[in-house]
Amino acid sequence: MRVAVVTGAARGIGAATVRRLAADGWAVLAVDAAADDPNLPYPLGTKDELAAVAAEAGRMAERASAGEPRIAHRVADVRDPDALAAAVAEAQERWGVLHAAIGAAGAIAGGVPQPELAPATERALIEINLGGVLNLARAALPALLAAPQPRSGRFLAVASAAATRGLPLLAAYCAAKAGVAGLIRALAAELGDSGVTANAVSPGSTDTAMLAESARIYRLAAAEAFADQQPQRRLLRPEEIAAALAFLAGEDSSAVTGAVVPVDGGLAL
């Protein structure tokens, strides 16, 4: 049995990743702040959503594990290093080990040129999208490295097509996601031959609440308008991003490290 901590688990890509890992037989601690932020202009995930994801994933895990309890959830803000350290400790206490930490917590805001964005909103974007991954690495990497050799630990993050594309009116978001990509490459170099790898996925336009907020930022009628940006001419499903994360979290991805894998319907072409 492999064990993971997943942040941003109340909805979107994080929730889909919890469900996918559960179906694959993992034990998962699903983590989310589960609260709105006054500096962000749209509703974030809730405690009820987090509990519902954990309950659904728990039913899936029971089918994969003959009834052994393998899914738990915890409210923790990725901006709080102590809260993430406690989440990692809980996963270790429940299941004895940690094999993967997946940073999927994210937020978006913008709609104005960078100098006009409220400083508090800019800080929230940097602290959640980049700081949250840094904090997860600080909490989880020692646990991943504590496993005996031969290790197969995985540190994963969700970057974005915005990590490599300049998107107007989303400067802080682009900066944060570019930071995630740089962090992953640096961590891979630091981890070297430890048996722990560091990778990220870079989604394109994915059908989530964040994309709906992006549509509002750009004054589009609906998120579906983003589909034409991608050669596949459709929005991606969170489950498609989760499938890539599940592969990278598994033992078969041992030769992949320092990669930022585009899962974007061809957007990066």
Residues identified as active-site: 173
Beta strands in 137-203 (DSSP E): 153-158, 196-203
Can you tell me the distance from the alpha carbon of 195 to that of 141, in angstroms, rounded to the nearest whole number? 12
Nearest Cα neighbor of 18 from 62, 69, 67, 54 is 54
- Alpha-carbon torsion (213, 134, 193, 146), positive or negative: negative
Report phi then psi at 196, rounded to 5. -105, 130
CB 199 within 8 A of CB 184: yes
Return d(Cα 167, Cα 98) in angstroms, integer. 36
